[in-house]
């Protein structure tokens, strides 16, 4: 028994030693660059586009002579900070060339990212901000602008007067908080005739929590409000399901955020009156490109905007919007 224990301990120790002797950093020229791309979750269609975009960047760069491999790994739930921290730490000890990270929280991920920097693994932040200057660049949507685009659309739909409900996404998520603030600020400044009846409830991380919150809020405010804004894919999906269930879809002006097939169908059916669409494909693409540029010693911008756009029934069939709504996922995801 005791001998077994000794054996176990020595094997474990040996494994650790082997693990530690692996080269860290490894960003020497001519070698293969491994870039770990860490999304907030893997189940939303949004993240699939980021995945496809980063694969495109890797393929292009490899074709241009810089051998780049993208490793895709994230927490499965969008609110599991602990799991995402472990993913970042795992890649740090594994010694990848660089991290491209969409942090779940603007503070919780600061320590692991700073640790990674100390271990010579640089980080590019995508999608959502991080409260540290230990990163190379911030490649993201201008979320505030996205929120104000939604507010402009809402004001136009309601002709500048009426009551509006905002269902927030989740506590501590920087990107969605900026969208909500952008929406509220713009609405107050430009459309003083519009009243916000509720903006302090949260949808939570999944479609299920969002649907439940929406049902409860709609029962309370459903007959009073003329407009609704939701700041991301899951909250928009949950609100849409709740509206469809009570046959109110289409009767309330509804502006959402992010794109998915069901939103496009809903927009065609007149149940959704506008979505603010980011360019996740471009975000994944620029995230990896920026990381590689920096590893190759080129100077990169501290902040890179990947673009937002308001999509409505009127412009949804134009080619520009179509490529935005249907990024070439199949081509880059196998």
Q: Which residues bind other proteins (CB under 8 A)?
A: 41-43, 48, 76-77, 198, 200-202, 204, 206-208, 211-213, 215-217, 219-220, 241, 245-247, 261
Candidates 204, 206, 208; CA nearest to 167 is 204
Tokens of 50: 């980021």
Length of the chain measured in residues: 334
Q: Which is nearer to other proteins, 24 or 43 (CB)?
A: 43
Given a contact cutoff of 8 angstroms between Cβ atoms, the answer to whether 147 and 311 are in contact is no
Q: Which is nearer to other proteins, 69 or 208 (CB)?
A: 208
Smallest separation, CB 291 to other proteins (Å): 24
**Gap between the Cα atoms of 29 and 218, Å rounded:** 58
**Gap between the Cα atoms of 149 and 120, Å rounded:** 40
Q: Which is nearer to other proteins, 186 or 215 (CB)?
A: 215
Smallest separation, CB 250 to other proteins (Å): 15
**DSSP assigned state of 319:** H
Given a contact cutoff of 8 angstroms between Cβ atoms, the answer to whether 289 and 136 are in contact is no
Q: Which is nearer to other proteins, 138 or 257 (CB)?
A: 257
CA atoms within 13 A on the CB side of 191: 24
Q: Which is nearer to other proteins, 217 or 239 (CB)?
A: 217
Compute the Cα dihedral for 220, 201, 252, 206 and give only its sign.
Answer: negative
């Amino acid at each position: 028994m005791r001998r077994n224990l000794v054996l176990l301990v020595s094997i474990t120790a040996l494994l650790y030693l082997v693990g530690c002797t692996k080269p860290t950093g490894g960003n020497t020229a001519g070698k293969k660059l491994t870039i770990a791309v860490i999304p907030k979750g893997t189940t939303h269609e949004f993240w699939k586009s980021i995945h496809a975009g980063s694969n495109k960047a890797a393929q292009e760069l490899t074709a241009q002579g810089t051998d780049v491999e993208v490793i895709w790994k994230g927490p499965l739930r969008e609110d599991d900070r602990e799991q995402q921290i472990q993913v970042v730490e795992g890649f740090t000890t594994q010694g990848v060339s660089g991290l491209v990270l969409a942090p779940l929280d603007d503070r919780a991920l600061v320590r692991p990212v700073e640790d990674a920097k100390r271990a010579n693994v640089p980080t590019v932040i995508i999608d959502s901000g991080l409260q540290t200057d230990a990163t190379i660049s911030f490649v993201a949507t201008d979320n505030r602008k996205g929120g104000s685009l939604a507010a402009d659309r809402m004001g136009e739909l309601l002709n500048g007067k009426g009551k509006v409900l905002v269902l927030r996404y989740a506590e501590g998520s920087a990107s969605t908080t900026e969208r909500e603030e952008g929406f509220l600020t713009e609405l107050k400044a430009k459309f003083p005739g519009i009243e916000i009846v509720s903006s302090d409830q949260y949808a939570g991380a999944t479609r299920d929590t969002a649907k439940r919150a929406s049902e409860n809020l709609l029962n309370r405010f459903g007959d009073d409000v003329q407009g609704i804004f939701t700041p991301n894919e899951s909250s928009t999906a949950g609100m849409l399901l709740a509206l469809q269930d009570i046959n109110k879809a289409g009767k309330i002006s509804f502006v959402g955020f992010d794109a998915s097939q069901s939103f496009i169908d809903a927009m065609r059916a007149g149940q959704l009156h506008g979505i603010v669409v980011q360019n996740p494909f471009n975000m994944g693409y620029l995230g990896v490109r920026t990381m590689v540029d920096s590893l190759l010693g080129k100077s990169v911008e501290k902040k890179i905007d990947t673009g937002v756009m308001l999509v409505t029934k009127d412009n949804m069939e134009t080619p520009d919007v179509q490529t935005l709504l249907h990024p070439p996922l199949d081509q880059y995801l196998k």
